[in-house]
Every structure is written in C-alpha cells, then in structure tokens.
A = this chain, B = another copy of it.
Amino acid sequence: MVMATGRDEWVEAAYERFAEHGLAAVRVEPLAAALGTTKGSFYWHFSSRAELIAAVMERWEERETLQAIDVAEASGPPAERLAALFQAVASRARGRQGEATLYVEAVEEGVMAAVERVSQRRIDYIAGLLVELGLDPQEAQRRGVVCLAMVLGLQQLGTGTSGSLTAVRDPELARTALAMALAV
C-alpha cells in the first residue's frame, strides 16, 4: 500500500509552481501526474481548482508576513534597512517569477484580498521607514506605493532575462532605485 497524497502535499506542490511560474501555471492534471496520482484524488481533497488557488494564496500570505517580520527584525538605521529590502528583492527575484504577474492573475482568480493585504503591509513597512527618516506621513505613504511599484516593475522587467535589455541587469540599479526612494 502506497502513502496517500495528503491535502498539504497538493498545496505545497501547487505553491512551488505558483512561485516559479505564476498562478496560471497551477493546473490540476499536470500536478496529479507530477505527484503520481490522479485528478480524481485531487477532487477528493478539493472542491475545485479555485479552492487550491485560495489555499496557495493563504500559504503565500503567511510566509510573506513571516518574511516581512524577518526583514523588520534586521536591525540598523532605516536607510540601511530600505537598502537591504531593495537588495533582497533584486536577488530574490530569480526563482520567484510567480509574483511578477500576481496582481493581474489575482483578479482573474478571485484572490485579490490576500494580495491587497500583503501589499498594504509592504507599503506600510516602507512608509514607516521613510517617516523615521523625517518624511511627512502622507507623502511617505505615497512613496511607499511608488517603491512597491518599482519593485514589481523591476521584477517584471527582469523576467525576460535572455534579451537585449541589458540596462536591466546593471548591478547599480538597486542603488539608483534607493536614491530615488530616499530623495528629499
């Protein structure tokens, strides 16, 4: 008798496909094949693909929250923490292409709420650092939005690695982005 495929293994396998290729790449049949089981098994554990997607987003939100706390825990002055954040995103981008398209896919898949909560946390975290640096709270909030947009956009531009767009791989990019974020 072979070990049964638990709900958790479905979610974890789906999570990996999401992180690497996005939500649209989370497909029941290929997943079943990869796990060496059948679609029928999947539909015993889940009522639909949508339920699987929701579980993936839940897991993402948890991990994203933990990691945000990790970043926050990293001590040092605010400017340094912001620099570390940009640097972390820049280096973490590869292998996490899934997030590059998440905002759009979240609408299609009906899981925008989780994405908005995580975005808000990210914006608040950046805005908090900028307030520590002396910015007006409202302007800091706006700048937090623009910084998150930078990160998402850079992630997106970095996706087509093979190409002629060499400027995207300039190692000085993170420094320039930081300077723009901190500009008074």
Contacts and interface: CB of A to CB of B under 8 A. Distances in A.
Given A97-B104, A139-B176, A145 B163 contact: no
Contacts of A145: 154, 157, 167-168, 170, 173
Contacts of A150: 146, 149-150, 153
Interface stretch (A9-17, A49-57, A77-85, A109-117): A109-117
Q: Chain A binding site: helix, strand, loop or mixed by DSSP?
A: helix
Interface residues of A, number: 52
B173 A146 contact: yes
A97 B139 CA distance: 27
Nearest to A100: B104
A162 B112 contact: yes
Contact of A141 (B22, B101, B107, B167): B167
B146 A116 contact: no
Interface string A107-140: 1000011011101100100000000000000010
Interface string A143-184: 111101111111011011011110110101100110111011
Contacts of A184: 183
8 nearest CB pairs, A to B: A149-B153, A183-B183, A153-B153, A152-B153, A101-B104, A142-B176, A103-B156, A112-B160
Interface of A: 22, 24, 97, 100-101, 103-107, 112-113, 115-117, 119-120, 123, 139, 141-146, 148-154, 156-157, 159-160, 162-165, 167-168, 170, 172-173, 176-177, 179-181, 183-184
